Amino acid sequence: EVVQESQRKTPEAPRRRVTLTHPDRIYWPEAGVTKEGLADYYTDVWPYMAPLVVGRPLALVRAPSGITGQRFFQKHARSGLNKHVRQVTDPKDKGGEKLISIDDLDGLIGLVQSGALEIHPWGAMNANLDKPDSLTMDLDPGEGVGWQAVIDAAQEVRARLQAAGLNCFVKTSGGKGLHVVAPLKPKASWTALKAFTKAIAAQMAADEPERFVATITKSKRKGRILIDYLRNQRGATTVAAYSSRAREGAPVSMPLAWEELSPQIGPDHFTVLNATARLNGLVADPWQDFLAAAVPLPAGKGKAD
Ligand code: ATP
Ligand code: MN
Ligand code: MN
């Protein structure tokens, strides 16, 4: 199916209104990516990324002097955030700390201005914090696990989620693994989602203990893949599709078509430097049906804990 360029991208690149201080600051020394380079990358991918990050709480990995400097994981707004970044109240946060969110490209560039090198959304929208609208299975290969085994694990997760009626999408993590993501109609609770995903991870580990583990105990991971279901609880986050990673080479988390999974595309294959060329060369966005593919979490699997 051929998709016209004009259908696939917004006709005009969105305009940025945020002024970057120190635009030439080098964030990724070896890849040679500057703060402005990161802002340009996000401007390019914004039409693809926006539906996946707007209007939901975001945690940040901030590394204001780049990947070789200090970094911190930030889940709440602090003073000094750019004015284009929105602060959101979490009614369940007794301390009253505000969550971080963005409405538009200026919000994202505002985060870049603050030295955010990674963007990690919740699997729920601001307006519906207690009802997750996506499920994420994070596949974490232990020491000595080859890439094909990670691909096979993703296919196994997909088969099990599909059997339960869910539609699955896959992306590279930009690190070591893959993320399998299923869009949900926001009806079930976090408790139900966690129980559901825990049951699937535990069943995989029970069926094939040589391949999979479902508990985070490091010693058990060697040679196996952790099916990390703990992204599926209130307040947990996963790196956003298209987010850069604060790791060497300026990798990004890249949505893929299932057929693209192959030895040629490793977990950190796509980067700030080559992502735009990939997107421009695509016939169709492999995640274009992501939002439309949402279904309710099937009832009755797994036990709450
Ligand atoms: P990889 O493929 O290398 O595993 P990943 O992004 O999946 O990359 P994980 O360590 O498996 O990395 O996932 C950790 C997730 O947990 C992150 O995506 C992030 O959203 C979340 N997280 C929670 N607390 C932290 C923290 N202190 N530092 C980093 N990530 C955190
Ligand atoms: Mn992971
Ligand atoms: Mn993990």
User: Is 268 near ligand 1, meaning CB less than 6 Å away?
Assistant: no
Phi, psi of 10 (to 5 degrees): -60, 140
Average pLDDT of span 246-259: 98
Predicted pLDDT of residue 302: 52
Q: In 3D, which of 68, 302, 43, 77 has the Cα closest to residue 191?
A: 302
Q: In 3D, which of 248, 226, 246, 117 has the Cα closest to residue 178?
A: 226
Least distant ligand from the CA of 213: 3
Instruction: Tell me the ipTM for this assembly.
Output: 0.95
pLDDT at 3 over 90: no
Least distant ligand from the CA of 175: 1
User: Is 73 near ligand 1, meaning CB less than 6 Å away?
Assistant: yes
DSSP state of 253: -
- Centre of ligand 2 to C-alpha 178, Å, is 7
Mutation to probe ligand 1, out of 119, 140, 170, 213 (largest number of atoms < 8 A from CB):
140
Average pLDDT of span 276-284: 97
Q: Cite the beta strand spans of 158-257 per DSSP E.
A: 169-172, 178-185, 212-213, 225-228, 255-256
CB 268 within 8 A of CB 253: no
- Please list the residues that pair with 157 across neighbouring strands: none
**HEC letters along 273-288:** CCHHHHHHHCCCCCCC
One DSSP character per residue, 137-179 reads EEEEE-TT--HHHHHHHHHHHHHHHHHTT---EEEE-SSSSEE
Ligand 1 atom having least distance to the Cα of 253: 6
Predicted pLDDT of residue 1: 44
> pTM for the full model?
0.94
pLDDT above 70: percentage of residues in the chain: 93
Mutation to probe ligand 1, out of 56, 118, 120 (largest number of atoms < 8 A from CB):
120
Band (301; pLDDT cuts 50, 70, 90): low
Which residues, chain by chain, have CB under 5 Å from ion ligand 3? Answer: 138, 140, 228
- Centre of ligand 3 to C-alpha 237, Å, is 10
Task: From residue 210, give the alpha-carbon distance in Å to each of 158, 202, 203, 219.
Answer: 19, 13, 13, 14
3-state secondary structure of 251: strand
pLDDT per position as a tens digit, 15-68 = 788 999 999 999 999 999 999 999 999 999 999 999 999 999 999 999 999 999
